[in-house]
Amino acid sequence: VTLAQNGPVTLWARDAAHVAEMQSSRRNDRRLPMTVLPENVSVTAEIEAATQAPVLLLAMPMQQMGGFLTAHAARLAGKTLVACSKGIDLTTGRGPTELIAAACPDARAAILTGPSFAADIARGLPTALTLACAEDCEALQTQLSTPTLRLYRSTDPLGAELGGALKNVIAIAAGVVIGAGLGDSARAALMTRGFAEMSRLALRLGARAETLAGLSGFGDLVLTCTSAQSRNFRFGQALGAGEDFDPTTTVEGVATAKAVSVLAQRRGVEMPIATMVAALSEHRITVSDAAQALLSRPLKEE
């Protein structure tokens, strides 16, 4: 919706009936019901039509991306593929740009990530994001920026994708704290210690500290841990309050917590909060036992 200010945009979806509905109503009632699709957004169920453009934005749940890339690899060769997903693939332990590089080695992989709710962007509210690509991406930065969507470029896609993936795990923990009535002070402590463990793992994997401190890391951590618009935060809140949560909602932090626990163990990195989120999401531990376990860790230097 925002990119349509810069020129024609093609929106591809798999479900032909849903596409027909969007073409006639000019809205996506399932995902963004309040937003009218601009005239120069054309909606199609034909992947051929959607892959004509040189730049493609991939916005799908993280665990679906590997299958999509493999299925369409031939069409995607030579394209610039901009991942908009946040997470770590459970099967391979890879982030979005690493998945793209493995499945489509002839494509240019980039990631667009940072504090941004889709509904805010669609409403034209001011938003700032990180666009990260191993190569120079100044032209792409200009192409994807709009008067209300301000992109900062980075050459550290690993750091950007790890920040975006890991903040969801900490947001679930923050939601648990609020849902269980443990208070705002506990949430602030968890966000800070969460940021410490996000940075610990990311740096060990080769990311840059300044990327973690930027929009894709710290920025998105703040948004997701403090806003009820966040599905990860709301999922945590329900977990903390012992309430059910709609299982069809995309909550990226659940699979990411699982993937991160494995990754952290393999690399010998301590990630107590992420490990606790993985256990809580799978109901292997109660909220009070999780809180107790975190509070009774050995005292140490900050």
Ligand X SMILES: O=C(CO)COP(=O)(O)O
The verdict on 231 binding ligand X (CB under 6 A) reads yes
Q: Is 281 annotated as a binding residue?
A: no
The verdict on 90 binding ligand NAI (CB under 6 A) reads no
Find the part of the chain contacting ligand X (CB under 6 A) among 22-30, 101-109, 205-213, 220-228. Answer: 220-228
Integer angstrom CA distances of residue 23 from 15, 34, 94, 171, 298: 12, 15, 35, 35, 59
Sign (positive or negative) of CA dihedral 85, 164, 144, 37: positive
The verdict on 224 binding ligand NAI (CB under 6 A) reads no
Q: Contact letters (x/-) for ligand X, 233-272, by CB under 6 A?
A: -------------------x--------------------
CA dihedral of 250, 256, 231, 168, whole degrees rounded to 10:
-150
Count CB atoms within 10 A of the CB of residue 150. Answer: 14
Q: Is 231 annotated as a binding residue?
A: yes
Rounded to an integer, what distance in angstroms lies between the CA atom of residue 235 and that of residue 240?
Answer: 9
The verdict on 216 binding ligand X (CB under 6 A) reads no
The verdict on 117 binding ligand X (CB under 6 A) reads yes
Token duo for residue 271: 């990630």
Report DSSP letters for 116-134, one per residue: --HHHHHTT--EEEEEEES
Strand partners for 9: 41
Find the part of the chain contacting ligand NAI (CB under 6 A) among 81-89, 133-141, 237-245, 258-266. Answer: 81-89
Count CB atoms within 10 A of the CB of residue 32. Answer: 16
79 is catalytic: no
Phi then psi for 53, rounded to 5 degrees? -70, 150
Q: Contact letters (x/-) for ligand X, 135-174, by CB under 6 A?
A: ---------------------------------x--x---
Residues 109-148 that bind ligand NAI (CB under 6 A): 116-118
Q: Which is nearer to ligand NAI, 57 or 294 (CB)?
A: 57
Rounded to an integer, what distance in angstroms lies between the CA atom of residue 260 and that of residue 265?
Answer: 8
The verdict on 60 binding ligand NAI (CB under 6 A) reads yes
Q: Is 220 annotated as a binding residue?
A: yes
Per the CB < 8 A criterion, the answer to whether 117 and 227 are in contact is yes
- CB of residue 202 to ligand X, shortest distance in Å: 17
- Active site positions, annotated: 167
Residues that bind ligand X (CB under 6 A): 86, 115-117, 168, 171, 220, 223-224, 230-232, 252
Residues that bind ligand NAI (CB under 6 A): 14, 31, 59-62, 64, 67-68, 84-87, 116-118, 250, 252
